[in-house]
Chains A and B, each alone.
Chain A
Amino acid sequence: QKEVEQDPGPLSVPEGAIVSLNCTYSNSAFQYFMWYRQYSRKGPELLMYTYSSGNKEDGRFTAQVDKSSKYISLFIRDSQPSDSATYLCAMSEDKIIFGKGTRLHILP
């Protein structure tokens, strides 16, 4: 079992829809949980990070961590075509481990 599992997609949703992106993990020692956005041929950009369990909101983005289920989510409200990118979950105990990324397409 891989340490971090993430569905690669692609995920296509209409503009304005709520997007739900998810990752599962196996290492219960992970403490920090991050979401990155990566546009084609660019480096990843940190969107949000959460320490331990709970929710965190930033504008249209909400991150959730459920440590009991080893499951994290990123919700995007009022999705825009500019949100089309690959979304990477990442988590760390000492080193940072990334998921494979989910390709998201927002259809105008």
Chain B
Amino acid sequence: AQSVTQLGSHVSVSEGALVLLRCNYSSSVPPYLFWYVQYPNQGLQLLLKYTTGATLVKGINGFEAEFKKSETSFHLTKPSAHMSDAAEYFCSQAAGNKLTFGGGTRVLVKP
């Protein structure tokens, strides 16, 4: 069975600082990987995805993620946090029609 692990259920960053959210997935061929964001009182919105090709994936709102097969990782980064980045972030892995989600990381941005 697929499993996705997000390290850290809560992350606090200062406005303008680097945002780094960690995700490790269970090995599979091929790994289709996603990051979703959930703003308060809303559903999930796709940030970015890796399916094939370039291992550095750029998404919306200045986020990017790097697929590292040797480490089974798909960490999400943003160089400079903005107050509007406060949300919960979910890493997920596809297997067939289904997605398996990590436990989520809530990001707090301090002014």
Q: Do A and B bind each other?
A: no
